[in-house]
Structure 1
Amino acid sequence: MRLLIAALAAGAATLAGCTTNPYTGERQVAKGTYGAAIGAAIGCGIATATTKHGKRNERCLQGAAIGGATGGGVGVYMDVQEKKLRDRLAGVGVGVQRDKNTGIITLVMPGNITFATAQTSVRADFYPVLDAVADVLNEYDETSITVSGHTDNVGRADYNQNLSQQRASSVAGYLVNKGVAGNRVSAIGYGMNQPVASNANESGRSQNRRVEIVINPPRG
């Protein structure tokens, strides 16, 4: 246990540890530090498992330092990408969410600004938004992207499933046409199966009609 604690400390020490949140102005533990700590633990474990008992302490700390730098790098990579996306998408109606545990960035695009009613082709006035997203994705080209389509519960399930798949494919295809490598992008339709709000009223149904772009951290 003492060895693991030392490893985590070594990983965290590869980064500054605390940063100022650019959105709230509050001091907080940097996301990269979480990555460094996880990387340190993994690095220690691999080094220990492949080393004779007498040198395990030394090898653990060496592995922790390497793993911490790698894990922290991924965290910083996603931090900067998130900041750029928030800057480029400010005021356009697209939500930018970040899972602090996985590092995944999700862009939530309401259906009413992305597509005309019952249509599967991206609205022309939404092109500049997707252009901005493509610019950032091309700059940070080590991520993988999953585009998912979602609907409300109005109408037949098979119709909504098909609509959601075609909309996800339209957004994914647009990004690929703007230079995002096709092997980084996948598209899936969930139909009415993943609501984020109640379908009992129009406000909730409007939230459920959406396309999400999930940006997954590099695997390292």
Structure 2
Amino acid sequence: MKTRIPLLIASAGAIALTACAPTDPYGNPTTGGTQMNRAQQGAIAGAVVGGILGATRDKDKNDQGKDAIKGAIVGAAVGGVGGAILDQQQKALQQSLNNPNIRVVNHGSYLSVTMPESTLFATESAAVGAQGQNDLYIIARNLNQYPNSTIQVVGHTDSTGSAAYNQDLSERRARSVAGILTAGGVSSNRVTTTGRGSSQPAASNDSAAGRAQNRRVEILIIPTR
């Protein structure tokens, strides 16, 4: 029972920080009336994990409360740094990309860069056009400036055509995008490609506008530390 008490206190205390934080109209946590940034979110998440590890990995078996607190402090520092780096990388990408059709989103534990078909490809083609290549080289420079991450390139299509055709097209498009990133200096060891075909739509395929949103390539940037 003594082993569990500090563990529960550390976990509950850190989680309570999140639960008690005010939220904006969309349910996002806020602090001081402004939306909580990723560094703050990372610090809270790190405190939770650090507190748990501090309690469960106690060495002296005598003062797990202190071990949980130490773990929470270290975890908060590490998580805060990771969140701050993602914030910085997101801002740098948004500032360097001069294309309003490209969407950069910070999900807290990774960044996603969503590029529509119109930015990259002609209809039913997997060859990246000139503007798309320019944008991808900009992204490659950013990835080289922030090297501690892996990159997943995911191709998507709408539901028009056969499932086999869409799967093949999505895979070829993902490989084309990845090829330009590596040509821009990104290590191939960091990059993987996947085709999802029409299996993960971002919008309804019942309208032309929805199908256009579904024809896209996503670049997922996942920190490794």
Aligned to 1:54: 62
8 Å Cα contact 2:10-2:72 kept in structure 1: no
TM-score in terms of structure 2 length? 0.82
Aligned to 1:20: none
1:18-29 residue pairs with structure 2 within 5 A? 27-29=34-36
SS at match of 1:117: coil
Corresponding residue to 1:41 among 27, 48, 60: 48
Corresponding residue to 1:117 among 120, 123, 126: 123
8 Å Cα contact 1:92-1:129 kept in structure 2: no
Which stretches of structure 1, 4 residues or more, deviate above 6 A after TM superposition?
none
Deviation at 1:5, TM superposition (A): 5.3
The letter for the 2-side match of 1:67 is G
1:72 equivalent to 2:76? Answer no
Deviations 1:97-122 (A, max 9, x none): 2224xx32111111022011221111
Aligned to 2:112: 106
* Cα separation, partners in 2 of 1:2 and 1:113, compared to 1, 3 Å: closer
Structure 1: gaps of 5 or more residues: 13-25
Deviation at 1:125, TM superposition (A): 2.5
Q: Distance in 1 between matches of 2:76 and 2:131?
A: 44
Aligned to 1:19: none
Q: Distance in 2 between matches of 1:106 and 1:112?
A: 18
1:1-220 residue pairs with structure 2 within 5 A? 1-4=8-11, 8=14, 27-51=34-58, 52-100=60-108, 103-218=109-224, 220=225
Deviation at 1:58, TM superposition (A): 1.8
Q: Distance in 1 between matches of 2:73 and 2:46?
A: 8
* Cα separation, partners in 2 of 1:194 and 1:5, compared to 1, 3 Å: closer
* Cα separation, partners in 2 of 1:3 and 1:216, compared to 1, 3 Å: closer
TM-score in terms of structure 1 length? 0.84
SS at match of 1:188: strand
Q: How many residues align?
A: 202
